[in-house]
């Protein structure tokens, strides 16, 4: 639910005299060094043409103020692609938020951007609550089977860096591709081993055949048993 600079809103009307609440999606750019086969962004029409587009703060700031006059901005969602590759835009948005909006911020990251330390410094220094969703599908997953050691090390480093920033919440989030269903339990256990806390997951918007759906349910049940045994 939100208002991206340029998209049409779709939620219930606000009480009389109040502006309707909106989460504002701020898109820094579209690019990402990742190679996920299921990437909706990279498989979308026009991506090759638009991949190098970047948000221009001088153009975006007046638009954000315009939206803030029309709606009660109750949060910022930063997108798309790997936003950590744009540290200067993170610094700009967090400063604008501290000055004018002071609302919670949410974003995804794959954790492997070379600019991660600089972005984490800006996030740790920001005054507003930040929710960071760290995308990791597990050790045997289509996405991370080749780089899980690097990704897990990046997560541990991020968690350590943010341990001094109580206003920042770092959570793991996983996607499940049809081919991942046979390793679902092992993949989810690798997330639990990495961070013994609840994590978010979602099956990809792809067609799962009957045996993949059965395997998904079987593996998820086995994982939940194991997780509950661990308490
Ligand atoms: S990390 Fe995200 S944006 Fe990058 S390729 Fe993977 S799914 Fe796409």
Q: Does 146 reside within a domain?
A: yes
* Predicted structure pTM score: 0.90
Coil, strand or helix at 61:
helix
Through-space distance between the first and last CA atoms of the chain, rounded to whole angstroms: 34
pLDDT tens, residue by residue, 136-175: 999 999 999 999 999 999 999 999 999 999 999 999 999 9
Q: Tell whether 53 is covered by a domain.
A: yes
- Does residue 9 form part of some domain? no
Contact 105, 54 (CB under 8 A): no
Ligand 1 centroid to 147 CA: how many Å?
14
List residues bridging with 201 in a β-sheet. Answer: 174
Q: What is the pLDDT of residues 188-200, one digit of tens each?
A: 999 999 999 999 9
Q: Is the CB of 32 under 6 A from ligand 1?
A: yes
Residue 219 token pair = 């593996």
Answer whether 111 contacts ligand 1 (Cβ < 6 A).
no
Instruction: Report yes or no on 181 lying in a domain.
Output: yes
Work out the percent of the chain whose per-residue pLDDT is above 70.
94
Residue 32 CA to ligand 1 centre (angstroms)? 6
Task: Supply φ then ψ for residue 53, to 5 degrees.
Answer: -65, 140
Mean pLDDT of 201-224: 91
Ligand 1 within 6 A of 82 CB? yes
For atom 3 of ligand 1, the residue with the nearest CA is 81
Q: Give the structural domain span for 210.
A: 19-230
| Closest of 148, 142, 82, 152 to residue 114, by C-alpha | 82
Q: Which residue has the least CA distance to atom 5 on ligand 1?
A: 34
Q: How many domains does the chain have?
A: 1
CATH number at residue 176: 3.20.20.70
């Amino acid at each position: 639910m939100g208002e991206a600079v340029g998209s049409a809103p779709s939620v219930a009307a606000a009480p009389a005299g109040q502006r309707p609440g909106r989460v504002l999606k701020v898109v820094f750019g579209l690019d990402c060094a990742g190679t996920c086969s299921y990437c909706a962004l990279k498989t979308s029409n026009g991506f090759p043409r638009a991949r190098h587009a970047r948000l221009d703060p001088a153009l975006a700031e007046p638009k954000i103020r315009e939206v803030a006059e029309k709606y009660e901005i109750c949060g910022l969602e930063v997108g798309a692609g790997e936003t950590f590759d744009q540290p200067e835009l993170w610094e700009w948005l967090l400063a604008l938020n501290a000055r004018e909006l002071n609302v919670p911020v949410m974003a995804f990251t794959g954790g492997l951007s070379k600019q991660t330390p600089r972005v984490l410094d800006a996030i740790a220094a920001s005054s507003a609550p930040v929710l960071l969703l760290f995308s990791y599908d597990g050790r045997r997953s289509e996405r991370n089977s080749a780089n899980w050691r690097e990704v897990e090390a990046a997560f541990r480093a991020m968690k350590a860096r943010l341990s001094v920033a109580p206003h920042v919440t770092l959570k793991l989030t996983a996607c499940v591709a049809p081919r991942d269903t046979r390793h679902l339990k092992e993949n989810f256990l690798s997330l639990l081993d990495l961070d013994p806390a609840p994590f978010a997951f979602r099956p990809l918007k792809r067609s799962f055949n009957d045996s993949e759906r059965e395997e998904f349910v079987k593996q998820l049940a086995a994982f939940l048993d194991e997780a509950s045994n661990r308490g």
